[in-house]
């Protein structure tokens, strides 16, 4: 079960997206949201979780378009680095499982 549907991505990515690719993006976004929150959510997920999953799926789809995704591109060994998604932390603030080490 994914927190978002491929149909949710159409307004953001257009209708030319392959349905199988769109489902992969939704599944990857769901796994990412679960890892950030430290828990899984029932079906249907809370609205904030669904919106966060849509945002993550769109970001994953567009990450190849970012011109500054490659650091040290002029050096000998270019390294591709993906930055964390700061908006996601704010959107999922109330859904995270608290933990600590004592």
pLDDT at 52: 94
7 or 102: whose pLDDT is higher?
A: 7
Residue 1 lies in a domain: no
CA neighbor of 57 nearest in space, from 1, 2, 94:
2
- Rounded to the nearest 5 percent, the helix, strand and coil shares of the chain are 55, 5, 40
pLDDT digits (tens, 9 = 90+) for 43-82: 999 999 999 999 999 888 887 665 555 454 555 555 555 5
Q: How far apart are the first and last CA of the chain?
A: 35
3-state SS assignment for residue 19? helix
Interatomic CA distance for residues 50 and 95, integer angstroms: 12
pLDDT at 72: 45
> How many domains is the chain partitioned into structurally?
1
Which structural domain range is residue 18 located in?
6-95
Within its chain, how far is the Cα of 81 from the centroid? 15
Residue 101 lies in a domain: no
Residue 43 lies in a domain: yes
Token pair for 96? 């995270």
Residue 41 lies in a domain: yes
pLDDT digits (tens, 9 = 90+) for 7-49: 999 898 887 888 899 999 999 999 999 998 999 999 999 999 9
Peptide bond just before 43 cis, omega within 30 deg = no
Residue 102 lies in a domain: no
């Amino acid at each position: 079960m994914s927190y978002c549907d491929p149909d949710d991505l159409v307004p953001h990515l257009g209708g030319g997206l392959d349905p199988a690719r769109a489902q992969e993006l939704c599944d990857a976004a769901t796994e990412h949201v679960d890892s950030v929150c430290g828990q899984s959510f029932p079906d249907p997920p809370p609205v904030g979780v669904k919106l966060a999953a849509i945002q993550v799926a769109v970001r994953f789809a567009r990450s190849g378009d970012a011109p500054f995704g490659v650091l040290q591109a002029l050096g000998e060994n270019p390294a591709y680095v993906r930055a964390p998604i700061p908006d996601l932390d704010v959107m999922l603030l109330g859904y995270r499982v608290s933990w600590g080490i004592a």
